[in-house]
Structures are given as structure tokens and as C-alpha cells.
Structure 1
């Protein structure tokens, strides 16, 4: 089966919770993670999809995290984990929900054509605490992290329009062939998988922020507090 976009989502930053509350479920926070499916053609610019927003511009967004994609094949796994019969599109705060592509088959540096846009896989997603807050489950972020089923980010090489049901055409594959899943597993255990992390650093198109985080992981200075509520 050919890979395709089964759903396309964008969302605005909104405020949630109460500034007076101190528990993780109801305390105040800002997020653009509640994204809504659309059947419209959406323009993919160098900085992301038109009409989409991120709250934390230090850790999200930018040219190397312009568009966030997730595999639709992961949905049953996360529905079971969260105790839900099914999950709505955009459940992982992704812009593109893609079928027949997976973290085990998508590699850093691969180039995909979706609609009239040409995108390059720049790095895995590093799940933060907000996905736990969104689903009111304190363990969700860590479960995504240890599973390696994080989804992946695209940079936009050529701007263009994307819509739901667009096919995902693989134009070029990086010669290193290091999958998102392999990268994520290595990141969780830098001592055991030091060689893999060092090989990731050889990928010419690797996002600079992810390159820096791998260096820190290798030298023991990485800070994983972005996952904590």
C-alpha cells in the first residue's frame, strides 16, 4: 500500500486550566497541541503550515521542526495505553497523520513529496510534558519516549500545498539509513548504543538542535526535564 496523509491538522495556541490550581491536570498552561482536522489545502511554508501555531517557540517550531508527522499505525497502541476505544486524528498533536509509514521505516534525512511540497525528515520528535497534560495521563510522555514511537519532524525544502489524502512519495533516502525508531532507542541508552549515536552525527541534513542534544547525551550532560510535568 502507498503511504498517504489520512488526516491534516492545524491549531491555534490557547490557554487551559486555572492559574490557581497546582495539580498537573488542571493547572494553567498554554498549548497549540489541540489541533483540528481540515479538508482544506494548507500552504506549507518554511516555518510550517499556514494557520498552525506552537506555544513554546524555544523547543517547538522553526525551520527544522516546521511540520510534525505521526504514524497512523501507532493509534491502536496509544488508544489501548490511554484506555480509549479509539483516538481522534491529531491525538498526538501532529500536523500530518500518515498511514503506511512508521518510525521503523522513516529515516532521518529522507526526502518526501506531499502534495506540491517537498519535505525532509530532520529529526525525531522529543516528547514533552504537554502530551501527558493533554491526555491527563502522567505516564504518557515517558511511554512515548521509551517506546520510540515519537513521530518525526519535517523541514520544508520546497514550499507548497498539502491536503488530506495526499500520497507521500519518497524522492530520496539518506545513505545512512538510520530510522527514527533506531535513533530513539539509541537516545534512551547512549552507553549501549554509542556507535549508533555517533553515526547519526554523520547525517549531513541532521537538525542542528538534535545534533547538539546527541552530543550532550554522549557526554552525559543532557537534560531531560522537558518531559517532566
Structure 2
């Protein structure tokens, strides 16, 4: 199993919307999620791709969410949902748009070699309200969450250069073999999937913040407020 980087994106933090508006979709907000395609190789280090910026450093970015990847195979689904014939690369605010890999085939803890860098799948992405703002669709965040097609985050094990066209080689599969899709479905329905959630907690490479969210989800203390679209 292998994949390919079909597009690579980085973004700068900018302000959007109207500071005086009372409407959710028009209120002023700040984000680095409008990412632009980069045609040259980019250095990736412990905190992500060189030149990529994060507005909300409490919930995004950092070593455990250094690089955000999304499956190109989902693009037709999201274009149809949003009512477009096509959507541009980086539409889900991802750094890496990957073909040949999918939430159903990528597992927590998997180690991938991309270009000269080595990355490890650390956790699924948790879609927040900003993706709904970006696409002017209040239902989009929840649709991503309920579908389980969230994309995934990497931590960087070995720095290096990445570019569009690079092969994504699976160096190691975590022995638990819990896919991103299965993890998302378990998280969405904890009462029916407690055994799987407990299995996930035993994966040594799991991102600490994701581990904590699963523990809270099992105990019924986890809040989904970060997705809320008023």
C-alpha cells in the first residue's frame, strides 16, 4: 500500500469577514486555513511545513498536529455536498492532499516516508467551526465529523523535504491496525464502541491530547463545543 502527494499547501494567518456583523457566517475571524498550492519542495520540521501558519495555537498546530493530510478520494464527496462541480486543492485546509490512501486504510501510529521526511500518524483531525465559515455552510463541520472522513494529523519523526508528486511509502503499520475511519466512528458513538476506544488508548504513539479526549468521551465528559456553529 502506498500513496502519492497530489498537492501540497501552506497558509498564512489572515482576518476574514466583517467585524461589525452579527451573523455567524459573516463575523470577523482569523485563520490560516485558506492554504495555497506550493509547487516547489518545502522543508518539514517538528512544527510542520516551513511557512505554514496557525491562528488558534491552543487547538491546532504543535508537534502532535504538525502536518494535516487529507485523502483526495474524498474530494468528489465534498464537492457534491457543497454544491460544486469541483473544489480546489487545500479545500479541507490540509497541507497534504494524498491519493491512494484513505481514512479506511490509514491507521493510528502508522509511519510514512514522504520525500526525505518520515512522519507518523498521530490522530484524526477534529473538524472545527472554521471549515463551515470558510465554505459558508453551517452544516459542513458536522458533516465531516459524522462521516468520519476527517483526514489525519502527522507528527514529524525525521525532518526533510516534501513536494507534490512524492510517493507516500508505508514504513511501518501499527500492530493495533485501527484505521482513522474506525477511530472516528468509535469516537462518535462511544457507548457502542467502548472496547475499540479502550484498544485505541493502548496505542503507545497516540497523541496525548487525543488520548485525553477519548478518556473524556468514554466517561461522558467530552464537549463537542469546538464544532458548534451558532
TM range (shorter): over 0.9
User: For structure 1, which runs of at least 5 residues remain unmatched after alignment?
Assistant: none
Residue 150 of structure 2 is aligned to residue 150 of structure 1: yes
CA distance in structure 2 between the partners assigned to 1:83 and 1:216 by the alignment? 36
Question: TM-score normalised to the size of structure 2?
Answer: 0.99
- Answer yes or no: is 1:86 the counterpart of 2:86: yes
Matches within 5 A, 1:154-165: 154-165=154-165
Aligned equivalents of 2:171 and 2:191: distance in 1?
34
Question: Hey, what's the Cα distance between the residues in 2 that align with 1:170 and 1:122?
Answer: 14
Indicate yes or no: 2:65 matched with 1:65: yes
CA distance in 1, matches of 2:113, 2:154: 11
TM-score with structure 1 setting the length: 0.99
Name 2:26's counterpart in structure 1. 26
Equivalents in 2 of 1:5, 1:26: separation in Å? Answer: 33
2:83 and 2:214 map into 1 onto residues whose CA distance is: 33
Counterpart-to-counterpart distance in 2, 1:106 and 1:74: 14
State the alpha-carbon separation in 2 of the partners of residues 211 and 58 from structure 1. 16
Partner of 2:14: 14
Within a 5 Å distance, the mapping from 1:103-182 to structure 2 comes to 103-182=103-182
Structure 1 residue 134, shift from structure 2 partner: 0.3
Alpha-carbon distance between aligned partners in 2 of 1:195 and 1:54, rounded to the nearest angstrom: 35
Q: CA deviation at 1:2?
A: 4.3
Q: C-alpha deviations, 1:153-174, integer Å up to 9, x for none?
A: 0000000000000000000000
Which whole-Å CA distance do the structure 2 matches of 1:25 and 1:185 have between them? 28
Indicate how the Cα distance of structure 1 residues 101 and 139 shifts in structure 2: closer, same or farther if over 3 A, else same. Answer: same
Tell me which residue corresponds to 2:48.
48
Alignment: residue pair count: 229
Query: How far apart are 1:95 and its partner, in Å?
Result: 0.0
Structure 2 regions of 5+ residues with no counterpart?
A: none
C-alpha distance in 2, partners of 1:213/1:3? 29
Q: What CA distance in whole angstroms lies between the structure 1 residues aligned with 2:72 and 2:20?
A: 37
**How far does residue 228 in structure 1 lie from its aligned partner after superposition?**
0.8
1:193 offset after TM fit, Å? 0.4
